[in-house]
Copies of this chain bind each other. A is one copy, B any other.
Amino acid sequence: MNAKQEIKALVFDAYGTLFDVHSVISICNQLFPDRGAALSQAWRAKQLEYTWLRSLMGHYEDFWQVTESALIVACQTLNLPCEPARRAQLMDAYLHLEPYPDVRPALTALADYSLAILSNGSPRMLQAAVASAGLEGLFSHVISVDEAKIYKPSPRVYQLASQKMGVAESAIGFVSSNAWDVIGAKAVGFWTCWVNRSNTKVRSSASEE
């Protein structure tokens, strides 16, 4: 059987795949003129690093806390003053990330499948982002790693989606812009689709497995 015959559910990563994490650049630029892109890059890099390190240590904190810790350190690294009022403004931007323009048309075209989100985001963050982007009602499940208390790419996270949806791993198609997320999903037996949003020309060596 091919993928189209086997796949019953499509599971989407959220940050970077449905929602543009770098849509925070505009508020970053308002608060720190001309430093928005650099801050957004550093913030995102630290955010991911903390999810991996905390998972590996077995010290889970939810994605809101991780995102705020990453923001504080990113600002310190770039010598940007980030007192509580500015921090609150920046964190609020994470609740209103812009969806990529192709997201709604794609989800609408795929409505014959069960559609779900599987994300590092905390339940509150995901609920806010979905509502803000006008994507409510499109997903049968919005699944947070918070139930597994570990971050991607732990196999436990991907298995959580299979369990919550009642669909076998081999009948799930997983869609992400993060290559390491695709590799993690593939490792548990999902079909996978890498959305190459950054036009990366290289293959990660890890993807050669």
Contacts and interface: CB of A to CB of B under 8 A. Distances in A.
A127 interface: no
A63 interface: no
Interface of A: 49-50, 52-59, 68-70, 72-73, 76-77, 151-155, 180, 183-184, 187, 201-202, 204-206, 209
A56 B57 contact: no
15 contacts: A49-B52, A53-B153, A53-B180, A54-B206, A56-B151, A56-B153, A56-B154, A57-B154, A59-B206, A59-B209, A69-B205, A69-B206, A73-B202, A76-B201, A76-B202
Point out which of A49, A50, A68, A72 has the most chain B C-beta atoms below 10 A from its C-beta: A49
Contacts of A73: 202, 204-205
A57 B205 contact: no
Given A49-B180, A76-B201, 14 more contacts: A49-B52, A50-B205, A52-B52, A54-B206, A55-B56, A56-B154, A57-B153, A57-B155, A59-B206, A69-B204, A69-B205, A70-B205, A73-B202, A76-B202
